[in-house]
Chains A and B, each alone.
Chain A
Amino acid sequence: MQVPAPFTYERATSVEHAIELLGQLGPEARVVAGGHSLIPMMKLRLARPDALVDINDLGAELAQIRVDGDALVIGALARHADVLASAVVGEHFPIFHDAERVIADPVVRNFGTVGGSLCQADPAEDLAAVFAALDAVAVLRGAAGVREVRVRELHVGPYETVLAPDELMLELRVPIRPGGGSAYEKVERRVGDYPVAAAGAAVWLDGDTVRDVGIGLTAVGAEHFTAPAAEEALRGQPATEESFQAAARLAAEHCNPSADQRGPVDYKRHLAAELTTRALRRAAARARGQEA
């Protein structure tokens, strides 16, 4: 039997209360949302928090999915299943539905949360690549107040984020801009597994020219889950197969995969290029209204 080390349990009744509890309990306290990353790590004693602050009762404040002005807002406590079922998410950013269909399995998706995924900062987390491609902003709140951090600056390393110990992730804000399309492509060994490699792309077109582009990569050691050199090269170029492949090659060159049980380095690098090309292709087709 896998038994976590002992801890004390507190349940937050509001966002203020959660932040207050985190402050009182000190840096060894952790938030628990779905627990589907934290509890497995506690069972293996890779994580040994002294105290857990359960935020699952804060759905009214933290689990909303809505459009606010020119941003799609996804609450940190939104479950994967909520994102997958949301029509407003699919309407603006089909990349989320592409990704959520292949994150974990339907039962895990009922409990795992968006905020938990991002705060876990697993180097193979799918949503990190999605939010990076869309250049979303995370809204954080701690005792010192509210601040906004680009998802591209949220992760400082494997399992490490810029969040202070008493900070809570409240929501993610994804800017909505006209003329865009987005897509996600993942290769996994079996249902419910983390990716061998995956790529997300968001493309904004002016006629046949790439006005702007965002590329997110996961599980291949891409810094901040991004491919800035490839994005730069593609901006202003014609939206053609040729330029997508050239950008994808750059993305693959700049990532830094490591060999593990999911595959060797050259295979992962190959996937990074191929999946980036496919994601760009589908994102562009969607921007043109040629694909749902």
Chain B
Amino acid sequence: MEVSININGTAETHDVEPRLLLVHFIREKAGLRGTHWGCDTSNCGTCVVWLDGKPVKSCTVFAAMADGHEVRTVEGLDQGGQLDPVQEGFMECHGLQCGFCTPGMLMTARALLDANPDPTDPEIREAISGQLCRCTGYENIVRSVRWAAEKEAGGPVTESETPVEAKA
């Protein structure tokens, strides 16, 4: 069947089987490899993209279900080459090591800050609670998101030279 999905503002129209998952449509048909494909069981969250403005796990949605709808992936975060503050935050605060979970984390973080520009640390942890990171222990991801929130609020940002402060 022909499926047409607006991904990051560009119409992607491809002839696919109805059983093709959205994550594979994005990666294999649209060629956008920023979205990762992980556990395939909707547990790890690395495949999170926005569907009509809301984060969803794209390994658990058929591409056909997104036909005629809007998807935003990690490639759609920057604006004309200017990184989104959440992307900057992950760089500044060492919010990733291997980077496998990062695309999903970034998409969820962006949605969180759009809905709640000044989240508490527990709110950040709750927002990413359906996503797994095996490198950072989440600490630096939380700091990265807070960095982005502070930058967007025009306030002080966490110093970049103290990214992985060990907890006593």
Contact = CB atoms under 8 A, between A and B. Distances in A.
Interface of A: 1-9, 11, 32, 35-36, 39-40, 42-43, 52, 54, 56, 81, 104-108, 110-111, 191-192
A9 B64 contact: yes
Given A9-B64, A39-B61, A40-B60, A106 B18 contact: no
B61 A35 contact: yes
A6 B67 CA distance: 18
Given A1-B40, A9-B1, A35-B62, A107 B130 contact: yes
B65 A4 contact: no
A192 B42 CA distance: 10
B149 interface: no
B43 A192 contact: yes
Contact of B130 (A2, A39, A108): A108
A7 B55 contact: no
Interface of B: 1, 17-19, 21, 40-43, 45, 48, 51, 54-57, 60-62, 64-65, 67, 108, 126-127, 129-131
Closest 5 CB pairs of A and B: A105-B130, A9-B18, A191-B129, A9-B64, A107-B130
A108 B18 contact: no
A7 B57 CA distance: 21
Nearest to A43: B40
Given A2-B40, A32-B62, A107-B56, 19 more contacts: A1-B40, A4-B19, A5-B19, A6-B19, A7-B19, A9-B18, A35-B60, A36-B57, A39-B62, A40-B42, A42-B19, A54-B65, A105-B45, A106-B127, A106-B130, A107-B108, A108-B42, A111-B56, A192-B130
B87 to A, nearest CB: 19
Contacts of A2: 40
A32 B129 contact: no
Contacts of A106: 55, 108, 126-127, 129-130
A40 to B, nearest CB: 6
Contact of B61 (A9, A111, A191): A111
B142 to A, nearest CB: 15
A5 B17 CA distance: 11
Given A6-B17, A7-B19, A104-B130, A39 B55 contact: no
Contacts of A6: 17-19
B64 A107 contact: no
Nearest to B53: A110
A192 B129 contact: yes
Contact of B65 (A1, A7, A56): A56
Given A7-B19, A107-B48, A191 B64 contact: no
B19 A107 contact: no
28 contacts: A4-B19, A6-B17, A7-B18, A7-B19, A8-B18, A9-B1, A9-B62, A11-B64, A35-B62, A39-B21, A39-B62, A42-B19, A54-B64, A81-B54, A105-B129, A105-B130, A106-B55, A106-B127, A106-B129, A106-B130, A107-B45, A107-B108, A108-B57, A108-B130, A111-B51, A111-B56, A111-B60, A111-B61
